[in-house]
Every structure is written in C-alpha cells, then in structure tokens.
Amino acid sequence: MSLRSILNLTGQGPIPCTQLHPLRGVAFDLPTPDPRLRALAEGAAAPTAPLENLVGAQRAWEDWAEGMDFLVPGSPVYRQKRLERDLYWRRWAPWVPPGSRVLDLGGGIGRFTQLLLEQGCTVELVDPDRESLRRAVWHAAGLPGALDVHWTTGEQLPDLAPVDVVIAAEVFCYVEDPSRTLQNLRRVLKPGGPLLLSVEARWGWAMALDVVPGSLETWLGDGVLRVEGDRWVRTYSRADLESLLTGWRWEELTATHYICSGPFEAAAGDLGIAEVEALEARLRTHPIAAPLHRAWTGIAVYNG
C-alpha cells in the first residue's frame, strides 16, 4: 500500500491516522499506474480533453493554494465549501454508519474523507491530483479512523478489499470513461452497498458565479465544456444519469445546489444549512427555477 511503503510500515491496507504525523507538511511522492498523471505533474500537456482538469488544478495550486485547500479555516472559500459538503451529507449520512469501510473516489483534499475519519471509518481515497492527496493526508493526521491514498483514476482503480460504501462526489462529470469507472466501482462495492454520487447538472451551471466566459455555446450545445489548459466538464440531464446507471436501483435522485455554487447563490445571500435546505425545497418545485439546479445528488444500489 502506498502510505505504508512511504512510512516504511509492514502489513497491508489503510493505516491508523495517528501514524500519519511524519507526513504532515511533507511533499511526499506516490506511485501511480497511469504514466500520464506523472507526465502532467511534471508539466506535460493534457493528452486527452478530460485531463485538462489536472492541468488547471496544478496551475491553481501554484496561483491560489489558499482556495484549493479549502479545509483550512482561513481559506477564503472555507465556509462556502463546508456548506456545499453539508448539503450533500444531510442526505448521505444515514447510509454511512460509523466505522464503515469507504472508497472516496475523486475525493481531492478530503472534504468527505476528513468527515468519515472523524467517525472512525476506514477510507481508501483515490484521486488523480497528487497535491490534493498530500493535503488530504496532512488533514487526516491524528484523526480517528484509518486511511490509504491512491494516485490514480476511476478507470484504473486499484485492487481494493471490498468496501461498504462508495462516495463519488462530483466525479462522473470529469472522468474520461464513466461506464468503465462505474464497472470498477461495482467490482469493489459489497453487494447491497450504496453508491453516493453527485454530478454537474445540465442547465444551472451557466448562471452560476463561476461560469466560464464564452461558454454559452456549450450551454446551447451538447453541455460538454472544454477550456484548454483549465477544465473539462460533462453535464448530465436526469435521463443521462439514469442511462449511465442502468441496472442500479435509485434510492434517491434529487436536483440540488440551486444556491450552493448555483444560479441563485448571489440572490440567496449568506445563509446557514437549514435556510439553504428550505429554499432549495422551494426552488425544486418552482415552475421556472426547477430545471436550473447546479447538481444532481443521488443514492444508488446495484441490482446485479
């Protein structure tokens, strides 16, 4: 396992976070099964469109690290990102009992990993951005629970012991091959275990504060946004998402994030989670606002 080898520990599997202190603040390296990720980390151009996200992430770490590492209370987006996480977690928490074994796919700096570890969970964190994984380990040091991290993608998911739960928050909108990624998740998820997922929705993003100038043609076209050297995003309609997860049973699929980084963020103002939830419920049933959500959030169980 990657963290065990870095710390020269014996055994297998995730390690207690109480043993991660030697890595805090250290720019440690990680192995990766995908040579493209190492090439990108060393400054290569993105070989395929979806990997533009990594090019953009690397530049953002150089130019705006305080915004990228939003788990630090002093980050300018700390409160916003925490509110977004809480909006998801209110729906997902009942599906993740304390002490669960969880795969956090595309988990970045650990916004869900940190929360899971605080509840004594064992977490396998997978992400294609090495710097995000480093920060996730730094934030995890000393927490309850156990952790391992993997510098790879959902398409090249490592062989993991079965997990109770998979979290894929804002992942399928960025991966190159959603179907292959989903097949890999089925391989590691225990029968009956939930997949907790969210994706960028089809319409609301174009009216959000962080919209990319010049992206109107994408909104009017196929909904797949590419900005060279910065980002690549596949947006989903409800039908798109249901088609991708053919064979899965939906426990819940909800339009969400009208306010959190959505089209009504500025108009809503500075609100707490209870106020956000109440407004989102009203927007969800409004005849004009309903399609303008920023995200879909869902809970699915494989029937196979």
- Write the pLDDT tens digit of every residue in 280-295: 999 999 999 999 999 9
d(CA 99, CA 118): 10
First to last CA, the chain: 30
Under the banding of pLDDT at 50, 70 and 90, the label for residue 1 is low
Distances 53 to 129, 205, 236 between C-alpha atoms, Å: 9, 17, 18
Under the banding of pLDDT at 50, 70 and 90, the label for residue 2 is confident
CATH code at 2-21+33-302: 3.40.50.150
Q: Which residue has the tokens 């928490």?
A: 93
Q: What are phi and psi of 20, to 5 degrees?
A: -90, -5
Q: Write b or e for each residue in 166-198: b if 16 or more Cβ atoms lie within 10 A of its Cβ, otherwise e.
A: bbbbbbbbbbeebeebbebbeebbeeebbbbbb
Q: What is the pLDDT of residue 275?
A: 97
d(CA 173, CA 74): 29
Per residue in 39-81, pLDDT (tens digit) is 999 999 999 999 999 999 999 999 999 999 999 999 999 999 9
**Two structure tokens written together for 263:** 């089209």
Please, which residues bridge with residue 231 across strands?
A: 227
| Closest alpha carbon to 33 in 154, 139, 142, 196 | 154
> Whole-prediction pTM value?
0.97
> Is there a contact between 169 and 106 (Cβ–Cβ < 8 Å)?
yes
